[in-house]
């Protein structure tokens, strides 16, 4: 066990994270309670609200509601728009809360970021946000975060980021691939003997291959095809299209009685990429079922929460770690994200290998 045993472990969060904080507290206490050598620490986990003040000039002051001295503080960061707030207000709140905990003598500050929108901007001609990913993470580190946990960020952007020698902050990337693999296996809408897994772009191809390997390792499929057949159409208005016609023909020939599709991506801000990829699959392969798996639905606007205008999508499955209002009947959320975060916290605080304990095989993101 880790040599540094905490006095208390405090779980708190910024605006829009109450549900995830509550679920994380529940799952973390249950996890510790079920491990004999750690059960005594379950009563040391506390759920704490934060105090937030917004001044007339727009300034934000965020601080813990009780003392955090010599404790480990876990801050769930809602880096998204939520009920009238914008990403910058919530980003400022996340920094202020960590800074106050640091000033209050917290032993360690761990941040959990269900979304990291800045990790998507590097591939865009016009960035969605003016802050770069590297600057964002460095500012969070300067505010006091010692560890920051993310699920399925844009890995190319993360891997190219230069660590700062000035801050003691590490960034832990988790992946939802095992959660999705389990759901794919148990989803009655997908025939496992006629299944093809797709990625809508090159960035998600690695995740598709990992999900395929997990499913095959679980022995649920005799053979499974993972494909990345898309590219940006020269006419931007046309969006994505299947360009590997021979591969598409191979799929149709292999599955003459019909094919089921699982389309996996990280997160969506608008539905454009996913809808265009799904429509292309539908037009070329005519699947019996087309299930979209998204790590995160970003609550930026009401349009994100509905896929009702895409009848070719049978179902959308996403983790429940962001607050999406007015979910349509097409969307189903998986309540496994808080359990994933709880396991990561256990490894970080009490010792253990995240790669070995959270994921099957040795191909987990690190």
Calpha distance 171→181 (Å, rounded): 24
Structural domain includes residue 45: yes
Q: Please tell me whether residues 20 and 169 are part of one structural domain.
A: yes
Q: Please tell me whether residues 128 and 44 are part of one structural domain.
A: yes
Q: Please tell me whether residues 46 and 154 are part of one structural domain.
A: yes
Residues in the chain with pLDDT values less than 70: 1-6, 81-85, 117-132, 153-167, 201-211, 214, 216-247, 267-272, 298-306, 324-328, 355-366
Q: What is the pLDDT of residue 44?
A: 94
Q: Please tell me whether residues 226 and 317 are part of one structural domain.
A: yes
pTM of the predicted structure, to 2 decimals: 0.82
Q: Please tell me whether residues 162 and 181 are part of one structural domain.
A: no
Q: Please tell me whether residues 106 and 48 are part of one structural domain.
A: yes
Please name the residue that has the structure tokens 């290998």.
353
Q: What is the pLDDT of residue 138?
A: 83
Structural domain includes residue 366: no
Q: What is the pLDDT of residue 156?
A: 52
Q: Please tell me whether residues 56 and 141 are part of one structural domain.
A: yes
Q: What is the pLDDT of residue 169?
A: 79
pLDDT digit string, tens, across residues 92-102: 899 999 999 99
Structural domain includes residue 102: yes
Q: Please tell me whether residues 183 and 318 are part of one structural domain.
A: yes
Calpha distance 332→87 (Å, rounded): 25
Structural domain includes residue 53: yes
Q: Please tell me whether residues 216 and 261 are part of one structural domain.
A: yes
Beta strand pairing status for 9-13 and 45-47? parallel
Print the domain residue range for 244: 177-334
Please give the tally of structural domains in the chain.
2
Q: Please tell me whether residues 206 and 59 are part of one structural domain.
A: no
Structural domain includes residue 2: no
Q: Please tell me whether residues 238 and 324 are part of one structural domain.
A: yes
Structural domain includes residue 364: no
Reference 117, options 102, 138, 96, 131; nearest CA is 131
Paired strand residues for 50: 64
Q: What is the pLDDT of residue 25?
A: 96
Q: Please tell me whether residues 24 and 103 are part of one structural domain.
A: yes
Calpha distance 108→122 (Å, rounded): 30
Structural domain includes residue 161: yes
């Amino acid at each position: 066990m880790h040599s540094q045993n905490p006095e208390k472990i405090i779980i708190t969060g910024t605006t829009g994270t109450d549900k995830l904080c509550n679920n994380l507290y529940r799952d973390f206490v249950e996890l510790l309670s079920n491990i004999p050598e750690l059960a005594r620490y379950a009563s040391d986990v506390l759920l704490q609200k934060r105090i937030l003040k917004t001044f007339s000039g727009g300034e934000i002051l965020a601080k813990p509601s009780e003392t955090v001295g010599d404790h480990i503080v876990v801050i769930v960061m809602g880096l998204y728009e939520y009920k009238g707030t914008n990403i910058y207000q919530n980003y400022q709140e996340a920094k202020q809360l960590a800074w106050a905990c640091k000033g209050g003598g917290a032993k360690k500050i761990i941040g959990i970021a269900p979304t990291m929108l800045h990790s998507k901007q590097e591939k865009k001609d016009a960035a969605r946000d003016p802050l770069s990913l590297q600057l964002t993470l460095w500012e969070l580190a300067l505010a006091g975060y010692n560890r920051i946990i993310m699920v399925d960020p844009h890995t190319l952007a993360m891997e190219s980021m230069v660590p700062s020698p000035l801050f003691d902050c590490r960034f832990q990337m988790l992946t939802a691939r095992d959660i999705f693999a389990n759901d794919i296996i148990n989803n009655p809408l997908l025939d496992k003997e006629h299944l093809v897994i797709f990625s809508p772009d090159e960035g998600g191809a690695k995740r598709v291959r990992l999900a395929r390997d997990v499913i095959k390792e679980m022995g649920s499929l005799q053979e499974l095809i993972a494909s990345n057949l898309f590219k940006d159409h020269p006419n931007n208005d046309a969006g994505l299209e299947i360009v590997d016609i021979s591969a598409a023909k191979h799929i149709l020939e292999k599955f003459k009685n019909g094919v089921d599709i699982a389309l996996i991506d990280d997160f969506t801000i608008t539905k454009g990429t996913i809808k265009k990829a799904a429509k292309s699959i539908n037009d070329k392969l005519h699947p019996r079922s087309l299930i979209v798996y998204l790590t995160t639905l970003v609550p930026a606007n009401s349009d994100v929460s509905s896929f009702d205008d895409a009848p070719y999508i049978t179902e959308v499955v996403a983790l429940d770690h962001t607050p999406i209002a007015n979910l349509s009947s097409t969307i189903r959320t998986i309540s496994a994200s808080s359990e994933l975060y709880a396991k990561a916290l256990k490894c970080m605080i009490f010792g253990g290998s995240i790669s070995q304990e959270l994921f099957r095989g040795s191909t987990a993101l690190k």
